[in-house]
Amino acid sequence: MKATKEASVMGTPAEPGAATVRLQCLDKKCGATYPVHDLANECTACGNLLDVRYEWPKIDPAALKQTWLSRKMSRDQGDLSGVWRFREIIPFLRSDESIVTLREGNTPLLESRKAGAYAGVDAVLFKHQGFNPTGSFKDNGMTTGVSQGVALGKKVVACVSTGNTSASLAAYAAYGGLRAVIFIPSGQIAGGKLSQSLEYGALTIQVEANFDVTWKLIFKMVEEAGVYLLNSVNPFRVEGQKTIPVEVMEQLGWEPPDWIVLPGGNLGNCSAFGKGLREMRELGLINRLPRLAVIQAEGANPLYQLIQQSIAQGKSPFEIGLKPVENPQTLATAVKIGNPASWKKTLRELEASNGVCEQVTEQEIADAKAIIGQSGIGCEPASAATLAGIKKLAARGVIRSQDRVVAVLTGNVLKDPAYTLAYHQGTLAYASEGRQLPVASNFGNRPIVVRPDAAEIKRLLTQGSEPRL
C-alpha cells in the first residue's frame, strides 16, 4: 500500500452531501494519508494505526437529527440498524449494497438509582450493549468492518479474540456469506462466547498462549495471507462503534452527560467513543464533550500504569510509551489484555475530553456486577468495571454526586454464566502470583436446597416477603 496525498471519496466530490473520505495516520507529525480501499491497518511510513477521516459537507445539525429520528419509522434494512441509521456520520461505503446488518444497535439507556447509591452518585445511566444481536458492543463495529470487507471483495475475515469479537465476527461473516477464522487464547475465553463462535460456523483455532502473544504471532501472518483482519485496529470497526455515543446523545436529547465511563481492554471502544464525540461537536450536533473515564482491571492495567508514571515524572505519556503487562490476570476475560493496540488513540481521546483512567480490583468488579444484577439489568464481568470505577472516582471527588454519568455495559450477563454462578455460590477465585485468591461473595444470592416439606417451604416463603438489602 502506498501513501498518497489524494483523498478517496464517497460518491463524487461534486455530488451534494458527499463527504471526502481518507485513511490517515493518527500521528500528527507523520500525517500520511491513504485511500479508503487500502487493506492495511497500520501506516507504512511510521507504523502507527490509521483513522478514517472526513471532510464534511455543510450540514444542518437540526435537520440531520430529525432525519435520524424519522428513520425509526422506516422499514428499510439500513434504517432498522442502530448503526446505519446514522450513516451520514460513517459515509465511507461506495454502495449500500455491501452492508451486512443484523439490526445491531438500538440499545437502551437504563437508569439505576440503586447502582448510583452504591457508587455514591445520584444515579447511573447504563448504556447496555448486551442487547445487541450477539450480546455485545462488538456488533456495532462488526457491521461496518464486515461491510467494508465485502466492499473490498474479501472472502475470508479473521480476528484474535478473548471472546466477544470472535462471537460477533462469526455471526456477521456467516450472515454476509464470508468465511471466518478465529484465534483465541486456549482456556482463556468464557464458555458462552466460545459456544457462539462454534455455533456460527467459524474455523476456531485455540492457541496455547495469552491474547498478547497470540496477537503478535497472528497479526502480520493474517495480512500476508490476504485475510481481512477485523480486530479493533481496523479503522472501520471504530467507525461503527463510534455510533454508540451518537445514540446516547440522541437518547439524552442531545444534552451531553458529565461523564461516559468504559471498561478498558484493547482500548478500541474508548478510542471510538472519543472520535464519535469529537466529530459530533465538529458537526454542531453537541456543544461540549463529556469527560471519558477508562477503567482497567488491576491485573491488566498497562494504560493506568502509564498515566500514573506520566504524572509522577511530569512527562507526556506519549513520550514515555506503554509498557505491556507481560502476564495479565483478571477474571474479566474481555479486558484481559496486557498490550492494548489502541492505547495511543485512547490517550488522544482522554486528553481531548480531560478524561481519566482508573483501576479496580477483582473484588470490586465482582461486587459491582452483583449490584448491577440486583438492579435487574445484568452484565458480563468486564462491564461491571465501570460501576466499580465510578465508585472509586466518586469517593475521591473526581466524579461529583450530582454528575450525570453514563456507564457502558459491553456485554450480556449470559456471556460468562460460570463467573456469576461461582460468585453467588461463594467459590469464585482468581490467580495471582501462582496462588488462587478467593473473591468474597459480599452480595451473594446462594440457592437454597430444601426437602419436599410444605412447612419448611412455607417458612422460606414467609422469610422471602421482605426484600433483601
- Per-residue pLDDT tens for 325-340? 999 999 999 999 999 9
Edge to edge, what strands does the sheet with 179-185 contain? Answer: 203-207, 179-185, 156-160, 228-229
Contact 393, 293 (CB under 8 A): yes
Instruction: Compute the radius of gyration of the chain from its Cα atoms.
Output: 22
> What are residue 121's phi and psi, to 5 degrees?
-130, 165
The pair phi, psi for residue 391, each rounded to 5°, is -60, -45
Q: CA-CA distance, 200 to 176, in Å (whole number)?
A: 12
353: exposed, middle or buried (C-beta count within 10 Å: 0-12, 13-18, 19+)?
buried
Q: What is the pLDDT of residue 17?
A: 55
Report residue 238 as a C-alpha cell: 471504530
Nearest to 368 by CA among 393, 337, 347: 393
SS3 content of the chain, % helix, strand, coil (to 5): 40, 15, 40
For position 16, what pLDDT does the model report?
42
pLDDT score of 211: 83
The 3-state secondary structure of 154-216, one letter per residue: CCEEEEECCCHHHHHHHHHHHHHCCEEEEEEECCCCCHHHHHHHHHCCCEEEEECCCHHHHHH
For residue 9, the model assigns a pLDDT of 29
pLDDT at 219: 79
Domains recognised in the chain with CATH numbers: 1-58 (no CATH), 109-132+237-432 (3.40.50.1100)
Segments of the chain scoring below 50 in pLDDT: 1-16, 467-469
How many helices (H) and strands (E) the chain has is answered by 17, 15
Distances (CA, A) of 393 to 295, 400, 409: 10, 9, 18
**Angle between the N-to-C axes of helices 61-70 and 243-251, in degrees from 0 to 180, rounded to the nearest 10:** 90
Q: Is the dihedral of CA 358, 364, 366, 371 positive or negative?
A: negative
d(CA 196, CA 165): 11
